[in-house]
Amino acid sequence: MESDFEQRLGYTFQQRELLRRALTHKSYSHEAKDDAVRHNETFEFLGDSVLGFIVGDLLFHQFPDLDEGALSKMKAFLVSAPSLAKKARGYGMGEVMLLGVGEEKTGGRKKDSLLANLFEAIVAGIYLDGGIEPARQLIERSFLDDIRSIDEQDLLFQDYKTALQELAQGNGLQLPEYNVVAEVGPDHDKTFVIEVKVGSLTARGEGSSKKEAQQQAARLAMREYDARHSSS
């Protein structure tokens, strides 16, 4: 199973103990009651640093004219738990993760938090086994297409909520009120529907997080406001 995983990963470990440790969740280590079985939490710490450095470097070279704030938002989105969990699923990491019985029973192999941490641990394992270059290669394969497809004006990197609030204040309208009207899908792949009300305006947005849905709703409300006033 590990060899199939390494083939998907595009990297073969020379030090097998590093791969095993990268795959070992603390629940498995604790249940083993064997000091020789070490879990991957410190690997997560190291992998987070390596990942952040390389993704930051890729963003810097892709968007050399953007300011620090925009680059930071992009990086935060790319290395967020849902994003890393999606990458982990693509490599089948959850299938080879070593989990304790309790975590196994509660669906640990599908949890975004565990999968995101596992991705970081694998990055650290590769870095410790082969150095920075193979770690960079994995990260580039995983994120470069996403980075190249980013629109600098993308919804995720614009603060429409603040803009809508300023529009309301500047025009004597009530401040925006946001309400969750629906949550669709399983916990690991949920879609939120949020409605915003500003004066006589209402708009609904959808997203994989409440924050994203609120931003979408705010953007649509501003578009509706502009449409009304441009035609009047």
CATH code, domain with 196: 3.30.160.20
Q: Is 120 a catalytic residue?
A: yes
Percent of the chain with pLDDT over 90: 50
Q: Of 44, 103, 112, 120, which residue is the catalytic one?
A: 120
**More confident of the two residues 218 and 1:** 218
Confidence (pLDDT) at 153 = 57
Do 114 and 25 belong to one domain?
Answer: yes
Provide the CATH number for the domain around residue 47: 1.10.1520.10
> Has residue 53 got a pLDDT over 90?
yes
pTM of the full structure: 0.69
Q: DSSP readout, 56-105?
A: HHHHHHH-TTS-HHHHHHHHHHHTSHHHHHHHHHHTTHHHH-B--HHHHH
Do 114 and 209 belong to one domain?
Answer: no
pLDDT digits (tens, 9 = 90+) for 146-165: 898 877 656 455 678 888 88
Q: Of 48, 103, 129, 212, which residue is the catalytic one?
A: 48
What average pLDDT is seen over the chain?
A: 88
Domain boundary among 105, 126, 151: 151
Of the given ranges (17-21, 60-64, 169-173), which has the lowest mean pLDDT? 169-173
User: Using 50, 70 and 90 to split pLDDT, how confident is the model at 97?
Assistant: very high
Tokens of 113: 């938090």
Do 143 and 226 belong to one domain?
Answer: no
Do 137 and 28 belong to one domain?
Answer: yes
- The answer to whether residues 205 and 191 touch, using CB atoms and an 8 Å cutoff, is no
Domain boundary among 117, 151, 185: 151
Task: Give the number of domains in the chain.
Answer: 2
Report the pLDDT averaged over residues 166-183.
90
Phi/psi zone of residue 193: left (φ > 0), alpha (ψ -120 to 50 degrees), beta?
beta
Report the pLDDT averaged over residues 36-62.
93
Q: How far apart are the first and last CA of the chain?
A: 66
- The answer to whether residues 182 and 193 touch, using CB atoms and an 8 Å cutoff, is yes
Of the given ranges (110-124, 127-141, 152-166, 211-225), which has the lowest mean pLDDT? 152-166
Do 144 and 173 belong to one domain?
Answer: no
User: Using 50, 70 and 90 to split pLDDT, how confident is the model at 120?
Assistant: very high
Confidence (pLDDT) at 177 = 95
Q: Is 195 a catalytic residue?
A: no
> Which positions ≥6 away from 100 have C-beta within 8 Å?
25, 27, 28, 30, 31
Do 130 and 207 belong to one domain?
Answer: no
User: Using 50, 70 and 90 to split pLDDT, how confident is the model at 194?
Assistant: very high
Closest CA to 215 of 163, 167, 175: 163
Do 111 and 10 belong to one domain?
Answer: yes
> Has residue 20 got a pLDDT over 80?
yes
Do 129 and 169 belong to one domain?
Answer: no
Do 32 and 93 belong to one domain?
Answer: yes
Burial 117-152 (b: 16+ CB within 10 A, else e): bbbbbbbbbbbbbbeeebbbebbeebbeebbeebee
Do 135 and 173 belong to one domain?
Answer: no
How many residues are present in the chain? 232
Do 142 and 193 belong to one domain?
Answer: no
Tokens of 28: 């498995």
**Tokens 């009304």 found at:** 228
Between helices 112-130 and 132-148, what is the axis angle to 10°? Answer: 130
Domain boundary among 96, 121, 151: 151
Confidence (pLDDT) at 149 = 84
Beta strands in the chain (DSSP E): 177-184, 191-198, 201-207
Domain that holds residue 106: 2-151
Do 112 and 88 belong to one domain?
Answer: yes
DSSP structural state of residue 232: -
> Has residue 90 got a pLDDT over 60?
yes
> Has residue 231 got a pLDDT over 70?
no
